[in-house]
Amino acid sequence: GAGVSQTPSNKVTEKGKYVELRCDPISGHTALYWYRQSLGQGPEFLIYFQGTGAADDSGLPNDRFFAVRPEGSVSTLKIQRTERGDSAVYLCASSPGTSGTTDTQYFGPGTRLTVL
Amino acid sequence: AQSVTQPDIHITVSEGASLELRCNYSYGATPYLFWYVQSPGQGLQLLLKYFSGDTLVQGIKGFEAEFKRSQSSFNLRKPSVHWSDAAEYFCAVGAPWGTYKYIFGTGTRLKVLA
């Protein structure tokens, strides 16, 4: 079946602009995660959704970052007033949400964000 | 603080040789442990995971990993590497309760020589 998809695959923007990154999870998965992977680093947790609600947003670096999942499926990560330091690959993952922390997280290919 | 250490940034092996990628973690209790592989342009793919029980776990693509509680390690091994194994490998830990977030290591990039 279809895996996690993310659009766009690449996004180039200018400092100070607003961007939206989209994630389509695997159908039926209730849990959704966003991670950020900077160059030469491992993925870093940003936010976790269970259904429509953000169950853990402790990884969001500041209030310029916001994520929504209004219908419990597609999620959008929103970044306001982008800064050069926001340049990274943004990864989305989903899991069934039925087995708690033993669920396997399935990752999308990521969106590479470049802030000029 | 919770952390995952992958001490080898780059590893180069010849095709057919054995492989061991190291992973050490710092955690308040025994976490859940994972190895993921990331190929260029591909998403992270789960190789194997450890929750409890037998400390030697088998994964996909001929990989295995051994959990050693006394060393806080979860090293990944493969007896004979194939050229297609060239990729970046990430070790990750997850809490056995509460939050579902993973903490990843910085990764080990594997190069395979023909």
How many Cα atoms are found within 13 Å in the side-chain-facing hemisphere of B94? 23
Q: A107 and B43: CB-CB below 8 Å?
A: yes
Q: From B112, B102, B98, B111, select the one nearest B36 (Cα to Cα).
A: B102
- How distant, in Å, are the alpha carbons of A102, A103, A113, B9 from that of A98? 9, 7, 32, 35
- Structural domains in chain B? 3-113 (2.60.40.10)
**What residues make up the domain containing A48?**
5-115
**Mean pLDDT confidence for B79-85:** 96
The model's confidence at residue B41, banded by pLDDT at 50, 70 and 90, is confident
The model's confidence at residue B28, banded by pLDDT at 50, 70 and 90, is confident
**Mean pLDDT confidence for B9-27:** 96
Give the CATH number for residue A18: 2.60.40.10
* Structural domain count, chain A: 1
Query: Is the pLDDT at B21 greater than 80, yes or no?
Result: yes
Of the candidates B42, B98, B104, which has its C-beta nearest A43's C-beta?
B104
Query: Is the pLDDT at B92 greater than 70, yes or no?
Result: yes
User: What is the pLDDT at residue A4?
Assistant: 95
Q: From B16, B37, B17, B3, select the one nearest B109 (Cα to Cα).
A: B37
Q: From A20, A102, A32, A21, select the one nearest A72 (Cα to Cα).
A: A32
User: What is the pLDDT at residue B99?
Assistant: 66
Distance from CA of A48 to the nearest CA of B (A): 7
Of all residues in chain A, what percent carry a pLDDT higher than 90?
85
Q: Which residue has the higher pLDDT, A104 or B67?
A: B67
Q: B32 and A101: CB-CB below 8 Å?
A: yes
Question: Which residues on adjacent β-strands are paired with residue A66?
Answer: A78
What's chain A's average pLDDT? Answer: 93
Mutate to test the interface with B, among A6, A30, A32, A101 (most CBs of B within 10 A): A101
pLDDT in tens, A10-22: 999 999 999 999 9
Instruction: Give the N- to C-terminal CA distance of chain A in Å, as an integer.
Output: 37
Helix (H, G, I), strand (E, B) or coil at A85: helix
Residues A84 and A114: their CA atoms lie apart, in Å, by 8
User: What is the pLDDT at residue A2?
Assistant: 82
- The H-assigned helical ranges of A1-116 are none
Residues A74 and B93: their CA atoms lie apart, in Å, by 26
Query: Is the pLDDT at B93 greater than 80, yes or no?
Result: yes
Q: From B101, B98, B84, B83, select the one nearest B34 (Cα to Cα).
A: B101
Size of interface A-B (CB pairs under 8 A): 69
User: What is the pLDDT at residue A55?
Assistant: 87
Give the chain A residue nearest B10 (alpha carbons): A40
Instruction: Report residue A49 as tokens.
Output: 């959704």
User: What is the pLDDT at residue A25?
Assistant: 97
pLDDT in tens, A48-105: 999 999 889 999 999 999 999 999 899 999 999 999 999 999 999 999 987 777 788 9
- How distant, in Å, are the alpha carbons of A12, A58, B3 from that of A88? 11, 19, 21
Neighbours of B10 (CB within 10 A): 10
| DSSP secondary structure code for residue A26 in this structure | P
Mutate to test the interface with A, among B33, B46, B101, B104 (most CBs of A within 10 A): B101
User: What is the pLDDT at residue B104?
Assistant: 95
User: What is the pLDDT at residue A76?
Assistant: 98
User: What is the pLDDT at residue B98?
Assistant: 66
User: What is the pLDDT at residue B1?
Assistant: 76
A83 and A62 Cβ atoms separated by less than 8 Å = no
Query: Is the pLDDT at B7 greater than 60, yes or no?
Result: yes
User: What is the pLDDT at residue B81?
Assistant: 97
The residues on B that touch A, with CB distances below 8 Å, are 4, 6, 32, 36, 41-46, 49, 51, 90, 92, 94-107
Residues A50 and A96: their CA atoms lie apart, in Å, by 10
Helix (H) or strand (E) holding A21: strand A19-24
